Amino acid sequence: MSTPIVLITGGSRGIGAATARLAARQGFHVVINYQHNQARAEQLVNEIRATNGLAECLQADISNQQDAQQLFDTILEQWGPISALVNNAGILEQQSDFIDITPERWHRVFATNVFGTMLCCQHAITHMRDHHLKGSIVNVSSLASVFGSPHEYVDYAASKGAIDSFTKGLAKEMAAQGIRVNCVRPGSIYTEMHADGGEANRVDRLAPNIPMQRGGQAEEVAEAIVWLLSEKASYCTGSFLDVAGGR
Ligand code: NAP
């Protein structure tokens, strides 16, 4: 059997990078997608290869239809069809009340978090269907979809709510074709994303109110993602795994 190929979107840092490292250790050929940070993506590829893992990286803005098409075409031409996809790329913007959020901003947030994820799912399902592969898709949502992120980024939370609904529907559509679609919802995880929202120490501020009284690590989220990707989760589809310290 050939080595299964997994595409991880937004994989140059944070949860995506931890997922790439773990998936490579567990025998996947990992394709790391990045948008801007080529140096970190290449560094991660070199790190994985140094421990005998299989890894590549490709630039693409997954919210852009041409970029997404090119990304999947290149993977097919160079390494073959993917049988696993992690829709990890996601953005948020400065903490703000909803009243101050512009339509331009919420279009940007939905373009990556929702429409980029949907685009990648269509391409991935095409790879799987055309090559008669069983497949596994993991969407990275957020517990923000449940709590709503008031006074911070309700646009981001709403985009993750859309991912939850999309996961449920797509899982039901694809189940009979052997393609599983699941969702991981992280809580407050130590990554650089919080600095993008204007509060680099946000996780430490929230930690006392988390039942486990600490933030999570990207590696703890990666474990859930890679388990759902794997055949160990063979009877899970349309499932939501919250990695959130009890929230
Ligand atoms: P992160 O450190 O900000 O990393 C996000 C990555 O996404 C970046 O590497 C970025 O790539 C990439 N990206 C953004 N827009 C993209 C686009 N249009 N096309 C391709 N790549 C794009 O974030 P993280 O904290 O690891 O979060 C990963 C996922 O977990 C996100 O979906 C996030 O919403 C979710 N999540 C995170 C937390 C948390 O507390 N950290 C909690 C709940 C959910 P470049 O750097 O190359 O531009």
Q: Is 239 in the pocket of ligand 1 (CB under 6 A)?
A: no
Q: Sheet with 84-87: list strands edge to edge.
A: 54-59, 29-34, 5-8, 84-87, 135-140, 179-186, 240-243
Task: Quote the ligand 1 centre to 19 CA distance (angstroms).
Answer: 12
Q: Is 37 in the pocket of ligand 1 (CB under 6 A)?
A: yes
Q: Say what the pLDDT of residue 14 is.
A: 98
| Average pLDDT, integer, range 229-247 | 98
**pTM of the model as a whole:** 0.98
**According to CATH, what is the number of the domain 5-243?**
3.40.50.720
Catalytic residues: 156
C-alpha dihedral, 98 to 240 to 192 to 42, nearest 10°: -130
Would you say 155 and 109 are in contact if contact means Cβ atoms under 8 Å apart? yes
Domain map (residue ranges) of the chain: 5-243
Q: Is the CB of 19 under 6 A from ligand 1?
A: no
pLDDT value at residue 2? 86
Reduce the DSSP state of residue 206 to 3 states and report it: helix
Q: Is the CB of 159 under 6 A from ligand 1?
A: no
Task: Give the DSSP H/E element, type plus range, for residue 41.
Answer: helix 38-50
User: In this predicted structure, what is the pLDDT of residue 109?
Assistant: 98
Structure tokens at 127: 């790879």
Percent of the chain with pLDDT over 70: 100
pLDDT digits (tens, 9 = 90+) for 164-200: 999 999 999 999 999 999 999 999 999 999 999 999 9
CA distance 195 to 129: 40
Q: For residue 170, report the distance from its CA to the centre of ligand 1, in Å.
A: 22
Which residue has the least CA distance to atom 21 on ligand 1? 10
